[in-house]
Amino acid sequence: MPESLFSPRLENSVPSFETIESLASEFQTTLTATAIRYVQLSGQKCAIVCTKAGEVLWSWPSSDFHHWIKRGKKLKASTYAVDFFEKRLATQQMQEVQEVTRDSWIEGESMQDTIKEQSRVLFSYGSVLTLLWIDY
């Protein structure tokens, strides 16, 4: 996904999997690759996180997302991404944009500050991709 073609499509976009899915369809790329490219080029304070078996496999933050999401960290019950691992299904809540406390995802963060969360289940891998972002 060349930056010269991808970046213009991100202008004035609000972080969401709907945007990422549309771009993945347009560029005929995987959801994961498109989500990473979105995070790299969106200009938003965001990160993509992959979880499996209820813990973080990896995360890819944007250059403006100055928070560490630790690999191997168990998902807290306060996240919506954990729904898939507890209920074995993609709940409506996890697929919609939700607001959770930052400490749900980021160690040492405030319980008063919030972060946006939206997830997609990758059924064939038994994993969940989660888009996190902080509104300016």
Place 107 in a pLDDT band, splitting at 50, 70 and 90: confident
Report the domain count for the chain: 1
Look at residue 116 and give its three-state secondary structure: strand
**Average pLDDT over every residue of 4-8:** 85
Share of the chain above pLDDT 70, in %: 99
Q: In terms of Cα–Cα distance, which of 91, 49, 40 is closest to 72?
A: 49
Tokens representing 13 are 């976009």
- Beta carbons within 8 Å of 63's beta carbon, 6+ residues apart: none
What's the pLDDT tens digit per position in 13-46?
Answer: 889 999 999 999 999 999 999 999 999 999 999 9
Parent domain of 53 = 3-134
> Residue 68 in contact with residue 106, Cβ under 8 Å?
yes
pLDDT, position 102: 92
Q: State the pLDDT at residue 88.
A: 86
Given a cut of 80, whether residue 136 has pLDDT beyond it is no
Model pLDDT, residue 135? 83
The domain that holds 72 is classified in CATH as: 3.30.450
Mean pLDDT of 118-127: 95
* Cβ proximity of 135 and 124 under 8 Å: no
Q: Note the pLDDT of residue 34.
A: 97
Helix (H) or strand (E) holding 46: strand 45-52
Q: How far apart are CA 5 and CA 28, in angstroms?
A: 13
In this prediction, residue 109 carries a pLDDT of 76
